[in-house]
Structure 1
Amino acid sequence: MGPGELTPLTVALAVLVLALTAAVVMLVLARRRDAAARAEASATVERRLAVVLSAGRDGVVVHAASGAVLVANEAAAATFDVPVAQLVGRRVGELPVRWVTEQGQEVTPASVFGRRQGADAPPFVVGALPHTGGPVRWVQASTRLVGAGDGDLLTVLADVTGPREVRAALAQSELQFRLAMENAPIGMGLADPQWRLQEVNAALAALFAVEPAVLIGHDLSALSHPDDRGVERAQVQRLLAGEGERFSLEKRYLRPDGQVVWVVLDVVLVRAADGAPAQFVVQMRDITESRLQSEALAHRAMHDPLTGLANRSLMQDVLQRACEPPDAPGRIAVLAIDLDEFKQINDRYGHAAGDDVLIHVAGVLRGATAGRGLVARQGGDEFAIIVTGDDAARIAFEIAGSIHKGLVNPVRTHRRQLPIRASVGVAVAEPAILTAGAMGMLAAADAALYRAKGGGRSRTEVYDRSMTVTAGAKHGAAAELVHAIETGELVLHYQPTVALATGQVVGYEALVRWQHPERGLLLPGSFLPTAVEGGLAVALGTNVVWQAASYLARTADTGRWVSVNVSADQLGNGELAAQVLMALSRHRVGPGRLVIELTEAGLVDGESRIRHELAELREAGVPVLLDDFGTGIAPLSYLRDLPVDGVKLDMSFTAGIPEDPAAQRVSRALGALARELEMITIAEGVETTEQAQFLHACGWEYGQGWLFGAGESERVQAEGRTHG
């Protein structure tokens, strides 16, 4: 073997060295690849962890056993109101926040970031108050160990601010509801879907005059008045069936002591989240007193206050309805009753004795009728009885006989015995009479009554067609006026009342006119005597009052008043006063906007019933003025004895100003007297500027007359053509 030749051993060693070298290189390369893969994997994990931490709604803080913050997410930074960078590296005890309990007590950081012992330890809710002054965050803190031994700690700060605020709001709402319910002045309660009371407040218990515990578990229907129970249950079932969410009823309940109470029942059904009925919220407002007052007012408006009998309005309404059916002929009978020589009793023994007689006669009429008809007082000593049914004629004759028999015994009053007799006229419905309706029946009965009086009195006469002429123009005119009232032919014109100091319109006087379909516009002088003679004065006055109240309701924004004229003939039985109060209530007219002007003519000195009626109106907020002041009899005694708020100077005095010195002196003196009594002062008949200036200088506050407007219809006023 030569020197340059390789031995097999040498070759083998060389190959081995090369193999080892290659293996080493491969190993180094493999380790480098593994290190890069691990680094990439670690970076991926860190990126994913960062994404998870940043996306989480709860705050996350990783801190060493020493307390140093290693990792924190954005949610944790928001809790402390600082950037994440200001958290990492700081100790948990140095974080810029103050920890408090729900009761406001301070909490140490160690309590928040320390591990809580026991798996069943309740959640730890704490408030974080950032030093920056940011909003408080309520969190539920929980800490656990990351790794083994003394490794790092992970604290999760779950934000419960929203749910806590919701719970607080619900608790506050519940508290407010309870307080409102317990202290509400009206009755309130909660009922289950079976309409059984679950909770009631003191006001509801007081409404039933029991302790609250007594009502719990009661079915409300069991407490209802039997006549109202069906309507109540129907409304409850309607809500349970999904037809609406609430209802309101005006109904009656029976208290355990048997007393009836009227309430306005308001009910709302509350449903659960799934739509099922949960409970009823019940409210009851006691309206017993107002209901009774309303019923009393309605009764007064339809009944005579002295005798308690139906008044003319109710009687005519009942009679008119009875006349409308096609089978009315033969089934209606009307008795017109008039006392004989009653005026002599009033003149000789006084109105107190006359009242006793009227009350006695009313009792006799009730007894004679025995519930078989409607007994009414038409006015004064005139009465009527309406009988309906198949035996109307026979019953009417029996009643007439019983009336004469019942009046045989004298009336005992003020230690006197006064003999009383009555004349009776009977009319049975016939087709010819019924064409004029109720007024036709009354006119026929009146015709028979006058025949009875002309035949010797204390008798009964039955209407026949020969009496048509006797019924005459009086009854025809009265029937025509009734028709005018019922069909709206009576209209009001409004004469302005102005403040003399400024000329501004402050109110109006309502002047009634009859818009006759054939005779044109009629002034009061052409129909007021018919109203008085036909007993229609109250009906006419009532019509005027309701029209004026309606006008006041339509012009509520102006604040102006309207005065209506009332005579003594329309007062004394309470009917007109009741209609005034009812009209004001129905149209919701404010106090003081409707004014009563009382004429002196016909007033009776010492008439207590008129005085009482005026006082009642005044107490209800209706001012009373004395019209035509300075004329008539005893004006000074009227100012002393009658409840009046003001006076109207009669135009006869105004007309003499300024030429007549006597008129000047009287106007000045009457004005001074009224002012001394602190009364409203209005001068009528003002036609010139000189008169207005003189009266104002004399202290008269308001004026009426041609200078300011003679009186216009509501239509003209609405067009803006008022004066002043």
Structure 2
Amino acid sequence: MTRPHRSAAMTSEQVSYVTDPPGHVALRGVRLLTNCFAWLGGIAFMVQLLVADGGLLRFPLAVLVAIVLCSWWLRPDGDSWPIAVVEGIAAAGGVLLLPVPQPVIAFLFGVTTRRALRGGPGRFPPKASLASLGYVTGLVVSITTEVRARHEAVDIDAVAASLMPLVGLVIGSIALYETVRAVRFEEDARRTVAAVLQASPVGLVLLDDDGTPRLHNARARALFGWDTDEPGDRKVPCAHGADITRCAEGCRDAHPEPVEVTIGRAGVLAVHAVPVEQVSGPEQTLVAAVDVSKRRRLEDALRSRAERDDLTGLASRAHFLHLVDSALLVDETAGLLVIDLDQFKEINDADGHQAGDSYLRAAAQRIGAAIGPTSTAARLGGDEFAVLAPGHDAQEATRLATHLLSELEAGPDLVIRASIGIAVATPGVGTAELLRDADTAMYVAKREGGGRIRLFRPEMGERVLARQRDKADLRTAVHGGQLVLHYQPIVDLTTSVVTGAEALVRWQRPGRGLLGPGEFIGLAEETGLIMPLGDKVLAAACHQAVRWHDQGRALDITVNVSTRQLATAAFLPALDRVLATTGLASDRLTIEVTESVWADDAAMRGLMAVRETGVRVALDDFGTGYSSLSYLQRYPFDVVKIDRSFTHALEDSGRTAGVVRCIIDLAEVLGAHTVAEGIETSEQADWLRRAGCAFAQGYLFGKPDHADNWDSQPSVSSSGCAVFGTPDER
């Protein structure tokens, strides 16, 4: 049976053919001719029966032929066994009745060819063979009757003349049937191919040798934008032109990899051409097209993300280093600027990461606007930026850096300070070396206070290497037990009793001896080691205070804490753990800070939280930094320490003596005790006692020393200022 018409219509709409295949055209012609001849033969056979001299038998036979013809008319695509039987009877009767077999052969032609053209395995040959069998039966009966009537031998020539047309008819019918089957198989294959083409997300086009699409699916029409119905207007483009068949690069000749073609503004197709050899004609080409626009956009997005910093939009570190590599290959003269924002960590810690990100974006915008079109800016990471300036020598790179600093600081509402290091490429220098030199120069600028520019010089590298060794050695010292604590006594000037001790850290550095805090505390803050270092000092000092208490010495302990320590959220929990572990009462511990704490909001919050635990707070070096009465009033301290620069000048300046009295009186008004530092003479101690200063420390009472050596400290001179030990121990 044939396919439903609706399915064929759907297929023809989904997959477009330029022309019907030649087999289909020929088969339609053959079907028309055979139908016409079958009707003519059938009618002629019926007429021959009616006019034949066969008596009444001719009428029933003519009726049988008429029935067959009516079935052809009423059911052109139908068939049944009764009709096949009728055909066989009509054929047998016709042979017996008619004087010549030609009318019967014509009838048999119509019967067999109709079934060969329209029937499946159930119609041909089983049903068609009944008519042929009737013909043979009639012929045998006719010959037998004639032989008996005439008593003559069988006329072989007459028998051959009657059978040969039948044999030819059978052979031709079988050939026609197989041809029809082949055409139908081809039709099924076309329908299968059409279904595959329609279901495929790939645009498929079959081109002839002239480049005209012979077959294509709807996806191909959509991808190539074929709105016209004229085959000649449909072209398959390639990367090198509007027609792949005329590409001089050979895109039609089965490239191993697809070629990408831009369609419209944003569409990108991957086109792959494969030759298709033909048995009966010139070679054709199958073109497969895939829409890779989304993939291209994703690739572009990934490439952009790889090449651009997400936060600032500047070049990423990896892409920037690639650009430096390329620049050094093309031009041996190139300037590299490394820019580090000053005080970014303080801004980030105090105001949060969102404010820090806004700060970085503002800095990036100003850097990008200041460098000009020939240079490239990048964010290397954190608050560190870089600028590549091809063709810039040292003088030009320095001018660019100066302009950059000016632009960064020029904001009306936000002033951005930065340190810039410059390195200029020399013949043979690589990217890594150039970046290292610029980073070294930036580091030097930052160490010198920031907000400045430094051009790399070879001796800088030596200093940086030494600094790196210092960092590594300090890390070993913090975690390897090279840090030791010395304690300096704090004396009550009224009773001359040692009431406390200040813990002072020292570094027992191999090969360098004992180093004071001034030589490594700054390095510890710079590297972040100040936190573990401070935790070790605090824990050791509290343990020592407890040991003294167990020995009968009721000594308070004072520990210096850096502003950066206080600004971290981990300091207060660490303090609580130390007090809980050692058992030291919180009011016997004093945390000593400098006036720089007022410049750090996070540190001030941490300091106030410490004070709420009962730990006392001392303000060191009062009067030398950010002194402010409003700060003292808003954030009261338990102890105010008078800096040694004032106590040393007591004997030289009456103005200094007046300032010290003011500090003592101010502390008394605020409810704080005063501790004078750097006392070296009895006269200084006597003056401070008369002025109302409560406590003092200095070489007069004892130098900082290990706790084990306190009992061997010299006693104080006859002025009676102080001696070591508690009243019971003196």
TM-score (structure 1 length as normaliser): 0.42
Larger radius of gyration: 2
TM, length-normalised to structure 2: 0.42
Comparing both structures, which one devotes a greater share of its residues to helix? Answer: 2
Give the structure with the larger strand fraction.
1
